[in-house]
Amino acid sequence: MTQANLKIVTFADYLAYDDGTDRRYELTYGDLIEVPPESDENVLISRALDRAFSDIVGFQRVRTHQLALEVLGQPKNRFPDLTVLRPEHLEQLQALGQSAITLEMAPPLLVVEVVSSGAESRRRDYFDKRNQYEWRGIPEYWIVDPQEGRVTVLAMVEGTYTETVFNQDDTVVSPTFSQWQLTVEEMFHKIQRD
């Protein structure tokens, strides 16, 4: 990861920063830390999930990889692999002029992280992001783990996440999206097929 030599104090400053590239940065203790590109597998899984959720809520409300989500703690923002927005976010994003959800906005309905290989990635998705998404009050967080062939659904219950793990033949149950009908195996098969 590359670190830019610039101190940014607030998330508003972060949103105003433009280095003239399409690089993504996380704001960590005032430093901009470049987020590495996604793996090809991660991109393919995210795209397949994008299509599936777009069929449920409409393509305008689904974002992949480029949406900056302001969170509590450090870093101050994340770029979920997939985010399902609330209807009011569409107007708010247009007014903001950025693909970003700030702390002043309601949290998105769902974020999904696809676990990349490596211990650091696993720790970040299973622990760091889980804590930040829970603190942010995001109603539902999915951890899609292609290496383990499972999907972990974390649902907000009385201010804390409850965890349900779905394996191969299990139909993934979403408390928010009752229309979701795919098993873990079907999800991964759909990804490989599409």
What's residue 1's pLDDT? 47
pLDDT tens digits, 86-110? 999 999 999 999 999 999 999 999 9
11-19 contacts: CB < 8 A, separation 24 or more?
Answer: 11/70, 11/76, 11/77, 11/102, 11/103, 14/68, 14/76, 14/77, 15/68, 15/96, 15/98, 15/100, 15/102
pLDDT at 190: 65
pLDDT at 158: 96
Task: With a cut of 70, list the residues of the chain below it in pLDDT.
Answer: 1-6, 190-194
CA distance 102 to 15: 10
- CB of 63 closer than 8 Å to CB of 140: no
- d(Cα 25, Cα 15) in Å, to the nearest integer? 10
C-alpha–C-alpha distance, residues 141 and 153, integer Å:
6
Query: Is the entire prediction scored with pTM above 0.85?
Result: yes
For domain 38-193, give the CATH number: 3.90.1570.10
Strands 62-63 and 82-84: antiparallel
The DSSP code for 73 is S
Which pLDDT score is estimated for 156?
97
What letter would DSSP give residue 43?
H
User: What are φ and ψ of residue 72, in 5° steps?
Assistant: -85, 150
Distance, in Å, from the CA atom of 153 to the CA atom of 156, rounded to the nearest integer, reads 10
Grouping H, G, I as helix, E, B as strand and the rest as coil, residue 117 is coil
pLDDT for 37 equals 86
